[in-house]
Amino acid sequence: MKNICKYLSIALLCLLPTFAHAGEAQDMAADPVLEKRMIGLADKLRCLVCQNESLASSHAELAEDLRREVRELMKKGMSDDEIKDYLVARYGDFVLYEPPFKRYTLLLWVGPFALLIAGLAGLMLQLRKRKQAAPETQLSAEEAQRAAELLNSKDPQA
């Protein structure tokens, strides 16, 4: 009986740190699932202050405020797309790392592929032209024999 008491109290003492931890970083620890979802979304959003950092990794004060905002909108039950729309309505498409497909982003999305196709077309034309410029020649029997001799000889110097 005494032993059981001893082990039980040790086991309880081991649990103590988990309670101690609960007090700090409440925002993060309060709901790890929500936090994970928030970070996942914030990764796709741009911080407007530092511009080349995502909302998830930025330490700018605005980014902190916006993460808080996103967290609260998620708690309100808004979907990721709704939250994106909410931010776009305030900050414009610039907050999205992946710009939407619109009339004025057409060049951005289609441009690289158009350039690739233009390049390939140019290459094809060039190659076809070259083929026409240098028509295939027929070897005479003598030339064919000499070519075979050169190819079959073991000494490349011969």
Do residues 50 and 44 make contact, with C-beta atoms less than 8 angstroms apart?
A: no
Q: How far is the CB of 126 from another protein (least distance, A)?
A: 12
24 binds another protein (CB under 8 A): no
78 binds another protein (CB under 8 A): no
Judged by CB under 8 A, which of 89, 134, 141, 151 binds another protein?
89
Q: How far is the CB of 85 from another protein (least distance, A)?
A: 11
Q: What character string, x for contact with another protein (CB under 8 A) and - otherwise, covers 93-112?
A: xx------------------
Instruction: Enumerate binding residues for another protein (CB under 8 A).
Output: 48-49, 51, 61-62, 65-66, 69, 88-94
